[in-house]
Structure 1
Amino acid sequence: MSDYGLTRDRVETYFDRTATQTWERLTSHEKVSRIRETVRKGRDRMRALMLSRLPEDLRGARVLDAGCGTGAMAAELAQRGAQVVGVDISPQLIDIARRRLHPALADSVDFRAGDMSDPSLGRFDFVMAMDSLIYYRDADIGRVVGNLATRTAQSIVFTVAPRTPFLMAFWTLGKVFPRSDRSPTMVPHDAARLARHCPGTLARVGRITSGFYISECLEHRS
């Protein structure tokens, strides 16, 4: 199995079996610890930053929410008028997303469990991938983005873990002291180096730092 496939399977195991309840609570309005609250706020800010790259009026557009998790991004895209396919490797998270979706948006969102790069998902005007590629190496990200680019008319907006001293130290320690019960390890990336693996144009959009949440938004155009 490829590095991509092995990582994808670890991500599925983590989100579908180990941490489903944690992520369900983190992405809800329930009270969480101060550390997790900073992560929640960071994710909210990142979602808003990513959405700012798309038109306010998305009527007539088909959008892929790649790694949709519990469905917050998909719901906001549908509220703008888009027809949304929300896909996630975790069937458990897809079940939560379906339960949370407002009935008024049911005809605008199609939630599916599976691989975000599956060609059977079809063609799109835009692709959004928030924190769903942060566990993969640059070559694997390049292949996924390249795959999606052949089926995306306008842009792919996605996030990576930036190559900061803090995240590099965290990543290095994770390799030295592996633990079978931890989440998959984020792989820090330098945007300029990552661009060499992505056909087309890759531009920095912005970085969000909120406590333990650090993520960088990039935009790809063919």
Structure 2
Amino acid sequence: MAEVSYDNKREELRTYFDRTAVEAWRRLTSDEPVGSVRATVRAGRDEMRANLLSWLPADPTGLRILDAGCGSGALAVEAARRGADVVAIDISPTLVNLAKERSASEPFAAHIDWRVGDYLSPELGNFDYIVAMDSLIHYEGSDIAKALETLAARTAQGMIFTIAPRTIPLTIMHAVGKFFPRGDRSPAIAPISQAALEREMQQRPGLQNWRLTRSYRVSRGFYISEALEARPA
């Protein structure tokens, strides 16, 4: 998975989340008051995170889970609290350090292995489940399918991830964002329909035995995201 488009986008994301947006993400993922727009994003992310966690086994004790693109760590923390052994990885050292600080005093902290780097790295090992909340939404469909193929080779039971659905409101927001000065922009999302992603997945040899089994969409103001679950047939 070393293609130029993926590597360039990954570096863009690292720069944004590790430098430009650190304070904004710290506040968004805390209990601090935020403006109305960010409040809708916070509520949307909370709903989506709860849904992704609900798709994991009710008792994940002993399961090895990869939180791919863990950000400030809320999903990893909750999965570990329920009994899972979690490898939580993000390309932003700043966000990972924030996540470690927030969880350090928790009794289950030893069940989270915080990492900085690329969640596609084979050095991370094998997993029962992989969860990727909003960490694939910036990539084109072909890159998403390639990433899923890489992850599927190391996943036994299921991959749970989100995409930016191709909806009219999201397409409009995506288009309007292009008019902002480059320095003020967050990394662009890449809306895609479930059907289009399925076609991309069918072209990947390593995903021939995988099927999308369910979906769930969250639409709260400026937060629009769609969860998908993929399982081996």
TM-score range, shorter chain: over 0.9
Q: Kindly indicate whether the alpha-carbon contact (under 8 Å) linking 1:191 and 1:204 is maintained by their aligned counterparts in 2.
A: no
**1:103 to partner: Cα distance:** 3.1
Q: Which residue of 2 aligns with 1:65?
A: 67
User: Is the CA contact (8 Å cut-off) linking 1:58 and 1:82 kept in structure 2?
Assistant: yes
2:71 match: secondary structure: coil
How much has 1:171 moved relative to structure 2?
2.5
Q: Corresponding residue for 1:39?
A: 41
Structure 2 Cα separation of the partners of residues 73 and 164 of structure 1: 26
Q: Provide the C-alpha distance between the structure 1 equivalents of 2:72 and 2:179, rounded to a whole number of angstroms.
A: 32
Q: Residues 158-186 of structure 1: CA distance to partner in whole angstroms, max 9, x if unpaired?
A: 00110001122233344566623311011
Identity %: 51
Query: Corresponding residue for 2:58?
Result: 56
Match of 2:102 among 88, 100, 103: 100
Task: Give the structure 1 partner of residue 216 of structure 2.
Answer: 206
Whole-angstrom CA distance in 2 between matches of 1:176 and 1:195: 31
- Structure 1 runs of 4+ off > 2 angstroms? 169-178
Pairing partner for 1:138 from 125, 133, 141? 141
- DSSP 3-state at the match of 1:180: helix
Structure 1 runs not aligned, ≥5 long: none
Runs of 5+ consecutive residues of structure 2 not aligned to the other structure: 202-206
Deviation at 1:132, TM superposition (A): 0.6
Counterpart CA distance in 1 for 2:231 and 2:181 is 37
Residues 1:123 and 2:126 aligned together = yes
In the TM superposition, residue 56 of structure 1 has moved relative to its aligned partner by 1.6
Deviation by residue 1:55-108 (Cα, 9 ceiling, x = unmatched): 121111000000000000001100111000000010000000000114312210
Please identify, of 141-150 and 166-175, the stretch whose mean Cα deviation from structure 2 is larger.
Answer: 166-175
Q: State the secondary structure of the residue aligned to 1:188.
A: coil
> Which residue of the partner structure matches residue 204 of structure 2?
none
Equivalent position amino acid for 2:192 in 1: H
Equivalence for 2:170: 167
Match of 2:159 in 1: 156
Letter in 1 for 2:228: L
Q: Using a 3 Å threshold, how does the CA distance of structure 1 residues 111 and 209 change in structure 2: closer, same or farther?
A: same
Instruction: Check conservation: 1:126, 1:156, Cα contact below 8 A.
Output: yes
Q: For the Cα contact (< 8 Å) 1:74–1:86, is it kept in 2?
A: yes
Superposed CA deviations along residues 139-159 of structure 1, whole A, max 9, x for unmatched, are: 110011110001000000000
The CA deviation at 1:195 is: 1.1
TM-score after normalising by structure 1: 0.96
| Deviation, structure 1 residue 203 | 3.4
- Conserved? CA contact 2:80–2:109, under 8 Å: no
Query: Which residue pairs with 2:14 in the alignment?
Result: 12
Once superposed, what is the RMSD of the aligned Cα atoms? Answer: 1.3
Q: Which moved more, 1:147-156 or 1:166-175?
A: 166-175
**Structure 2 CA distance for aligned equivalents of residues 5 and 210 of structure 1:** 31
Q: Is the 8 A contact 1:25 1:32 kept in 2?
A: yes
